[in-house]
């Protein structure tokens, strides 16, 4: 009886001591909440945010090993807001002192946010994480503004010209001709106007309905800029960092879209709703269209799953670069890398950058790349076992050699709105190409003044 | 004796505190109404007048995404008329104005007042229970959440083979080629979508007003041999003049500022500014753009002009319908 009492007392003492020790240790630990805000189309792009939840344990293990009393607690907020609303949310959230610590966004927003002081330059911190040396240099260039690095690239993509093989066959193309098309585009033998001619033939022969020869995205966005580049246009002056509008290239660019809509039975796409009209359209009744590599996964997962998903797409769709404007010219594509930015309201930027380093690695990035059909961002990623298994990623990778980018400038949004309005007016038949150029010059001068150079 | 004594006591008690009691009761009766109004005044001041003044001030600034938190918009040094100049020199200004006038007038004439009146007249002249049931069914579109309601319309207007109208009506009749009807006839759908909701408001007001007309008038007109149209023309319409004015004015102002259905249905498209109305432009400029270049100052200027247009329209209505005469006390009560 006496022995059991002493045993009980000892046990209680041990429990008490252990509890106090645990409490003392717990009090020493500093839990740092890190809020991560991502835009992602579910389910394809979920890894953009979910990778951080995996990285949390990994980073906490590192912190524990080095005796750092801090521990991160990641909170991921992820949805599929429109870009405009997504940006507004960040700006207003910042104004209220409640911005996320890590914010994923398109690289072209860096200029605006850096100028306003809402994000921090990362040059000093990223040096301490050698994993960042694996990221392609061209992608780092996208996150630079005024000589400093403001973000870490998250993914990349190509924006190919897609075509419907079945409709080309109906038009009389042989399998060999269809298979050779991407090569002809790469060599500059098949131009933008060759594409429109083919589209017109398809309309004339009743293979596609008028308007369905060639489509772009249905509203303003980055996909139009590579066409402007194809006609020799430039968007930014490297010496001054100011935006540029080239009237000669602009005239050719607007003429192309005017001709496409008014003469070549194309561009019946502007204003369409994405889900109910655009995606069903391009996946069934349009001959040529411009899209992103990420849409490959979207079509397979959402729009063509019943027909066989990706297998059906390989059977029926082909893709290549955006053709050159003239014979022998250089085709192109556009990459619009997203990047993780760190808010200037983040109290522990070193931990935020450490977390980003954890997701900037072969495993996590490849998970996202495969699920969302985005291109990899790391050197040697094409040799990574799991990356290699994605056929689309492997076959589209060469497009990065021809890629172009949007400029990092705070006023790109305004520039893009004015130039797109002129394009939509050309497509609608409201403007001639000449009138469109006048409209852009007048609009840019009125809205941006000396912030833009008109050449 | 005892009565006289009591009266004396009351007189003496009244004379001892004559001023303080009357002052208190005066204060009480004077302040009480204001006390009841205070919560409303606070809410209206906080959520209407202050934002209105802020929007008015913002309309003179270039506050946007690039300078938010940096620009001191409240300082007069940062105020200019640039936004208003930009609006009136905008090449699409006439199209947006024209769209707005068309949208408001068509929806108002054919649905919010026209259809509402027709439904009210029909449903008050048939079996009461059937009329009530019909009105209840018509209210369903107002009771349905806007997003769900618009999704239903999108499903109706969708391209063949998914679109209900294309698949089950136009297709079998051999009309059209199965295009997305929101692209081919955007205005028709915008007016229908808004009209079905808008008509329900007038329908309720007009039905109540018609049912409140004394039956004697109707019976007398029938005894005199008036046709149904004559009864409507010479008895019903004149007797619901005030509800007609109210619904017309209220719905005009409501349509001028409403944009949510258009935003969800066409978002101003399909062509460039094809279905863009004034309030939608204010929203687009201030809150929405693909690359996030939201211009709060510029959007505010569009909104301020809309407020001015609304005030002018309201004044015109009040003059045309002689509102002052309509709200005079009925002469029978003055006898």
Judge if A361 and A380 occupy the same domain.
yes
Domain ranges within chain B, ordered by starting residue: 2-56, 89-334
User: What local confidence, expressed as pLDDT, does residue B322 receive?
Assistant: 74
Interface test with A, best of B69, B178, B274, B291 (most A CBs within 10 A): B291
Cβ contact (<8 Å) for B294 and A219? no
The answer on A201 and A329 residing in a single domain is: yes
Rounded to a whole number of angstroms, the distance between the first and last alpha carbons of chain A is: 100
What tens digit of pLDDT does each residue of A160-209 get?
999 999 999 999 999 999 999 999 999 999 999 999 999 999 999 999 99
Per-residue model confidence as pLDDT tens digits over A294-306: 899 899 988 998 8
Residue B268, CB-side half-sphere exposure with 13 Å CA sphere: 22
Give the domain extent around A80. 2-157+336-404
Contact B290 A416 (CB under 8 A): yes
Residue listed under structure tokens 């905008």: B90
Contact between B271 and A209 using a beta-carbon 8 Å cutoff: no
Do A222 and A240 fall within a single domain?
yes
Residue B278 near residue B97 (C-beta atoms within 8 A): yes
Same domain, A185 and A275: yes
Q: Which residues of chain B have pLDDT under 50?
A: 1-2, 334-335
Same domain membership, residue A367 and residue A280: no
Has the ipTM of the complex gone over 0.95? no
Do A145 and A205 have their domain in common?
Answer: no
Q: In a 3-state reduction of DSSP, which class is residue A151?
A: strand
Average pLDDT value for chain A = 91
Q: Are residues A166 and A310 in the same domain?
A: yes
- Choice among A355-369, A419-433, B47-61, B283-297 with the minimum mean pLDDT: B283-297
Report helix, strand or coil for A339.
Answer: strand
pLDDT tens per residue across span B61-83: 999 888 888 889 999 999 999 99
Supply the CATH number for residue A391's domain: 3.40.190.10
Please tell me whether residues A261 and A210 are part of one structural domain. Answer: yes
Q: Do A425 and B289 touch (CB under 8 A)?
A: no
Omega of the bond leading into B161 within 30 degrees of 0 (cis): yes
Whether A88 sits inside 8 A of B287 (CB atoms) is: yes
Which chain A residues are closer than 8 Å to B289 by Cβ? 84, 220, 413, 417
A355 and A330 within one domain: no
**Total domain count for chain A?**
2
- pLDDT tier at A6 (50, 70, 90 boundaries)? low
Distance set, CA B250 to CA A4, B79, B244, B245 (Å)? 86, 33, 10, 8
A312 shares its domain with A171: yes
The dihedral of CA A58, A62, A65, A67: what is its sign? Answer: negative
How many inter-chain contacts (A to B, CB under 8 Å) are there? Answer: 113
Q: What is B89-334's CATH number, 1.10.3720.10, 3.40.50.300, 3.90.850.10, 3.40.50.720?
A: 1.10.3720.10
Residue A155's alpha-carbon distances to A127, A213, A217, B17, B297, in angstroms, are: 20, 31, 20, 85, 34
CB atoms B271 and A221 under 8 Å: no
Q: How far is B182 from chain A (nearest CA, A)?
A: 9
Do A276 and A283 contact (CB within 8 A), yes or no?
no
Q: How far is CA B181 from the centre of its chain?
A: 28
B66 contacts in chain A (CB < 8 Å): 112, 115-116, 410-411
Q: What was the pLDDT predicted at A389?
A: 85
The whole-number average pLDDT for the span A350-372 is: 95
Question: Where residue A22 falls among pLDDT bands split at 50, 70, 90?
Answer: low
Q: Does A303 contact B at CB distance below 8 Å?
A: no
| Residue A171 shares a structural domain with residue A151 | no
Would you tell me how many other CB atoms lie within 10 Å of the CB of residue A102?
A: 26
Give burial (CB, 10 Å; 0-12/13-18/19+) of A240.
exposed
**What are the tokens at B188?**
């028709």
Question: Is there a cis peptide before residue B156, judged by omega within 30 degrees of 0?
Answer: no
| Sign, Cα dihedral of A436, A438, A440, A442 | negative
Go through chain A and tell me how many residues it has. 455
- Tell if the CB–CB gap between A270 and B266 is shorter than 8 Å: no
Residues A200 and A275 in one domain: yes
């Amino acid at each position: 009886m006496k022995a059991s009492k002493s045993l009980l007392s000892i046990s209680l003492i041990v429990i008490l001591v252990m509890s106090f020790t645990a409490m003392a240790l717990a009090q020493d630990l500093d839990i740092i909440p890190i809020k991560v805000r991502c835009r992602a189309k579910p389910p394809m792009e979920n890894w953009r945010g979910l990778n951080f939840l995996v990285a949390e344990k990994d980073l906490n293990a590192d912190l524990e090993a080095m005796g750092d009393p801090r521990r991160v607690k990641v909170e991921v907020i992820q949805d599929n807001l429109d870009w405009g609303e997504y940006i507004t949310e960040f700006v207003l959230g910042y104004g209220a002192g409640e911005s996320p610590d890590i914010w994923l966004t398109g690289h072209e927003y860096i200029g605006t946010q850096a100028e306003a002081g809402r994000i921090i330059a990362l040059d000093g911190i990223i040096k301490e994480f050698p994993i960042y040396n694996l990221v392609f240099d061209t992608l780092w260039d996208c996150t630079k503004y005024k000589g400093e690095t403001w973000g870490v690239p998250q993914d990349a993509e190509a924006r190919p010209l897609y075509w419907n093989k079945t409709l080309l066959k109906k038009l009389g193309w042989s399998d060999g001709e269809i298979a050779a098309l991407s090569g002809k585009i790469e060599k500059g033998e098949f131009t933008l106007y060759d594409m429109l001619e083919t589209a017109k033939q398809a309309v004339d022969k009743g293979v596609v309905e008028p308007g369905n020869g060639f489509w772009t995205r249905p509203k303003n966005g980055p996909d139009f800029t590579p066409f402007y580049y194809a006609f020799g246009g430039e968007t930014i002056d490297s010496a001054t960092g100011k935006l540029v509008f080239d009237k000669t290239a602009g005239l050719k660019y607007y003429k192309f879209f005017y001709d496409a809509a008014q003469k070549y039975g194309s561009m019946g796409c502007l204003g369409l709703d994405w889900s109910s009209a655009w995606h069903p359209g391009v996946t069934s009744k349009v001959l040529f269209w411009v899209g992103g590599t990420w849409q490959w996964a979207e079509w397979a997962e959402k729009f063509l799953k019943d027909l066989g998903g990706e297998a059906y797409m390989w059977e029926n769709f082909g893709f290549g670069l955006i053709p050159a404007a003239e014979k022998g010219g250089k085709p192109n594509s556009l990459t619009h890398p997203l990047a993780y930015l760190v808010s200037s309201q983040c109290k522990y930027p070193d931990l935020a950058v450490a977390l980003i380093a954890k997701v900037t690695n072969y495993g996590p990035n490849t998970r996202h790349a495969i699920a969302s059909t985005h291109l990899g961002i790391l050197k040697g990623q094409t040799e990574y076992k799991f990356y290699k298994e994605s056929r689309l990623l492997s076959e589209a990778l060469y497009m990065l050699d021809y890629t172009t980018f949007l400029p990092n400038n705070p006023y790109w949004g305004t520039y893009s709105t004015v130039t797109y309005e002129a394009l939509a007016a050309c497509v609608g038949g409201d403007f001639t190409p000449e009138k469109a150029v006048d409209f852009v010059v007048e609009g840019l001068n009125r809205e941006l003044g000396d912030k833009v150079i008109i050449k | 004796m005892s009565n006289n004594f009591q009266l004396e006591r009351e007189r003496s008690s009244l004379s001892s505190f004559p001023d303080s009691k009357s002052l208190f009761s005066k204060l009480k009766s004077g302040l009480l109404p204001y006390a009841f109004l205070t919560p409303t005044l606070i809410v209206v001041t906080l959520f209407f007048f202050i934002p209105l003044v802020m929007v008015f001030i913002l309309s003179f600034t270039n506050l946007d995404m690039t300078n938010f938190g940096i620009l001191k918009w409240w300082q007069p040094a940062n105020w200019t008329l640039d936004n208003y100049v930009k609006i009136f020199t905008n090449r699409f200004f006439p199209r947006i104005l024209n769209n707005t006038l068309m949208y408001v007038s068509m929806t108002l004439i054919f649905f919010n007042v026209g259809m509402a009146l027709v439904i009210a007249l029909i449903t008050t002249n048939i079996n009461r229970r059937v009329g009530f049931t019909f009105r209840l069914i018509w209210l369903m579109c107002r009771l349905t959440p806007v997003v769900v309601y618009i999704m239903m319309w999108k499903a109706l207007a969708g391209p063949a083979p998914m679109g209900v109208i294309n698949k089950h009506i136009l297709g079998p009749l051999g009309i059209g080629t199965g295009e997305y009807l929101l692209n081919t006839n955007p205005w028709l759908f915008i007016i229908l979508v808004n009209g079905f909701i808008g008509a329900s408001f007038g329908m309720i007001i007009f039905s109540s007003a018609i049912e409140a007309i004394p039956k004697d008038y109707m019976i007398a007109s029938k005894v005199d041999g008036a046709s149904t149209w004559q009864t409507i023309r010479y008895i019903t319409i004149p007797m619901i003049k005030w509800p007609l004015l109210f619904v017309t004015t209220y719905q005009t102002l409501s349509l001028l500022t409403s944009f949510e259905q258009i935003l969800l249905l066409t978002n101003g498209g399909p062509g460039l500014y094809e279905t863009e109305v004034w309030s939608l432009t204010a929203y687009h400029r201030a809150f929405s753009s693909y690359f996030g270049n939201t211009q709060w100052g510029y959007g505010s200027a569009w909104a301020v002009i809309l407020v001015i247009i609304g005030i002018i329209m309201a004044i015109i209505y009040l003059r045309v319908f002689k509102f002052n005469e309509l709200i005079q006390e009925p002469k029978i009560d003055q006898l």
